[in-house]
Structure 1
Amino acid sequence: MNPPALLLVDGHLDLAWGAGLGRDLTLELDTLRERDPVATETATVTLPELRAAGTRVCFGTLFADPAAGDARRQALAQLEQYRRWEDAGWIRRLRTGAEVAAHLAAPGAPLGVVLLMEGADPIRDPDDLPFWVAAGVRVIGPAWGRTRYAGGTNAPGPLTEAGRALVTAMRELGVTLDASHLDDASFWEALELGPRVIATHANSRALVPGNRQLSDEMARAVAAAGGVIGLVFLGSFIRSGWNVAQPRVGLAELAAHAQHYAALVGWAHVGLGTDLDGGFGREKAPAGIERYRDVPRFLTQVPKEHRAGVAGLNWARWLTRYL
């Protein structure tokens, strides 16, 4: 059984990207599954499903698929999708800590969405950053794989000259750096420039090797800056070498990442960053996570006194203090 309802805040959901695949996320999940245009994976997320789970706020991405070209066009289309959902009353975009606090205090409010740009290629140059800030973007991860700004997942390298200028502009405009996907060289160079930093969706490299995950030193640096680290629900990010031909990973294995981070930096810096439906479906999620409303099952693996924090209060604290 699921534990009693807790306030959920998810550090990473690719909602508009999923809509761009042809999924109508305003449907109930079972209805979407019956007519899902994506045949290669089983959907776990819709807006009603998030409400049923108790999700009050999420970081919703603007993600430009490098294989699809024209990153700016993709991000603008996703921005328009969030605007349409907001106009229809499905979501409320949140831009400041005060707005987050008021939203969390309002029972029955729609899903609150903080806009996160995953991979900075939609930004033409640092002078273009104010446009995106005015549009509501509050967090930017400069990398996914390699971008013109930074080395990233499976693409080692430092910040480029444009990347250094972008991170500097982010600091000056109060935009938070998402360290997820940054290669080590880019990560450490970016932190020297002094922006606020979080990791919306990154598991521990101590358990799953590779530059997609955070090293212990990186996790400590995020926490030292006041940041929170979101746990990813993707099997291959939970168990090294896992693939979809194997039995699904267990929730206890995901909890091992949480426990490792907590031993390093304390439970106050651990949250959710599920990335569910972010290019994978039920088949690659942990066993027991058949749909998004099952996410609270993971919290039974967390010490009771820290469940509310990991569920959402740690992210809520960060958002109200720093957004």
Structure 2
Amino acid sequence: MEVIDLHCDVLYKLTTLEAPKFADDVRLHANKERLQLGQVKAQVFAIFIDPALPQNMQFLEVMRQIEAFHTQVLQTEGMVHITDWLQLDTLAPHEIGAILSLEGCSAIGDDLTKLSAVLDAGVMLVGLTWNEENAVGYGAEQDASLGLKPFGKEVVKMLNERDIIIDVSHLNEQGFWDVLPLAKHLIASHSNARAICDHPRNLTDSQAKALVEHGGHIHIVYFPRFIGENATMDDLIVHVKHLASIVGIEHLGLGSDFDGIDMTVNGLAHAGEVQNVLEHLREHFADNEVRGIAHNNFRQYIKRAATK
């Protein structure tokens, strides 16, 4: 069954590992070979910048990762650059769609020109923060009462004008509530349920409900720290069942966080094992519901977004 995955950090590894090879490098959870094995039909490749990097070097690092996307990912046979979400429906059987996202706006500082340049490079989805504070707002590990900054509203305005999806996965709570009424297109690309695992990177029930009420979508993440203690595949399914019960299964998808995580769930060590998740979901949901989580729900989300 085809899968659309809304988040991986392959680009960070491609720019930090020695002599990486996207096609089949086993150091990559989501290399081309493993994407094929897992029947991943489209993969979002995030641009992630280490917050320890000096501010004046961060934008250059963004450009380096965009270059790696073009020279390594897109130069691999069968990888197709998605610059319009509707292209997802035109991919040939042997092709995999590759989409750029920006995981946090720290690298742009307070410069909208830099944001515009990133969008011009093909970024389709933007997270306003990672876990730390930046000129836009405050990340998931910051004071939950601190909200979106004035510059953040300018960023949201530009993203709306360009029909870019805004990713709330790393926002702190007040930032989430501030963005909610402002954003045209919203998604949580890799978050689970805080009611099941009390981690600030997960969504509370009220956040999940409000996100969906505003037309948003929630993509389940495979990182054990966001699933629960001694996390298993069954524990991951508990998050799916909980979120399905409060927002509807038709608003759920997958966002692995492969290559951005330092531990994995047994049976879900890399993209080649993603079908195992679907097999476990089949024990609790009908085939069409599993197909929805795997890829069809996101396709429907995109079609709705195109009419907004």
Give the TM-score normalised by structure 1.
0.86
Whether 1:22 and 2:17 are equivalent positions in the alignment is: yes
**Structure 1 CA distance for aligned equivalents of residues 167 and 286 of structure 2:** 28
- Equivalent residue for 2:99? 114
Deviates more, 1:128-137 or 1:52-61: 128-137
Whether 1:45 and 2:30 are equivalent positions in the alignment is: yes
1:11-38: per-residue Cα shift (whole Å, max 9, x none)?
101121121221624343xxx34xx5xx
CA shift for structure 1 position 68: 2.3
* 2:52 aligned residue (52, 57, 67): 67
CA shift for structure 1 position 294: 1.2
- Equivalent residue for 2:258? 276
Conservation of the 8 A alpha-carbon contact between 1:100 and 1:319: no
* 2:141 aligned residue (154, 159, 162): 154
- Equivalent residue for 1:213? 202
CA shift for structure 1 position 320: 4.4
1:72-106: per-residue Cα shift (whole Å, max 9, x none)?
11111000011113244352221213222212xx2
Give matches, 1:166-177, under 5 Å: 166-177=155-166
- Equivalent residue for 2:83? 95
**Structure 1 CA distance for aligned equivalents of residues 198 and 107 of structure 2:** 29
CA shift for structure 1 position 138: 1.4
Identity %: 25
CA shift for structure 1 position 119: 0.6
* 1:129 aligned residue (111, 115, 137): 115
Whether 1:142 and 2:138 are equivalent positions in the alignment is: no
- Equivalent residue for 1:296? 275
**Structure 2 CA distance for aligned equivalents of residues 148 and 238 of structure 1:** 30
**Structure 2 CA distance for aligned equivalents of residues 128 and 68 of structure 1:** 17
CA shift for structure 1 position 175: 1.3
**Structure 1 CA distance for aligned equivalents of residues 178 and 148 of structure 2:** 7
**Structure 2 CA distance for aligned equivalents of residues 83 and 178 of structure 1:** 23
1:27-64: per-residue Cα shift (whole Å, max 9, x none)?
43xxx34xx5xxxxxx5331111111111101110111
**Structure 2 CA distance for aligned equivalents of residues 255 and 223 of structure 1:** 20
Closer, same or farther in 2 for the Cα pair 1:88/1:210, shift >3 Å? closer
1:168-201: per-residue Cα shift (whole Å, max 9, x none)?
2211221111010101111111112132100000
Conservation of the 8 A alpha-carbon contact between 2:22 and 2:76: no
Whether 1:201 and 2:190 are equivalent positions in the alignment is: yes
Amino acid at match of 1:102: T
**Unpaired runs of 5+ in structure 2?**
none
**Structure 2 CA distance for aligned equivalents of residues 304 and 55 of structure 1:** 20
Any idea what SS the aligned residue of 1:68 has?
A: coil
Any idea what SS the aligned residue of 1:66 has?
A: coil
1:221-253: per-residue Cα shift (whole Å, max 9, x none)?
2212332211111111100xx3xxxxx421110
Whether 1:267 and 2:249 are equivalent positions in the alignment is: yes
**Structure 2 CA distance for aligned equivalents of residues 320 and 114 of structure 1:** 17
**Structure 1 CA distance for aligned equivalents of residues 304 and 105 of structure 2:** 24
- Equivalent residue for 1:39? none
Any idea what SS the aligned residue of 1:219 has?
A: helix
Any idea what SS the aligned residue of 1:159 has?
A: coil
Instruction: Give the ranges of 4+ consecutive aligned residues of structure 1 lying more than 4 Å apart after TM superposition.
Output: none
**Structure 2 CA distance for aligned equivalents of residues 127 and 73 of structure 1:** 14
Amino acid at match of 1:143: T
Any idea what SS the aligned residue of 1:81 has?
A: helix
Give the TM-score normalised by structure 2.
0.90
- Equivalent residue for 2:233? 251
Amino acid at match of 2:22: T
Conservation of the 8 A alpha-carbon contact between 1:96 and 1:320: no
**Structure 2 CA distance for aligned equivalents of residues 97 and 320 of structure 1:** 9
**Structure 2 CA distance for aligned equivalents of residues 107 and 27 of structure 1:** 18
Give matches, 1:225-244, under 5 Å: 225-239=214-228, 242=229
Aligned length: 294
- Equivalent residue for 1:307? 290
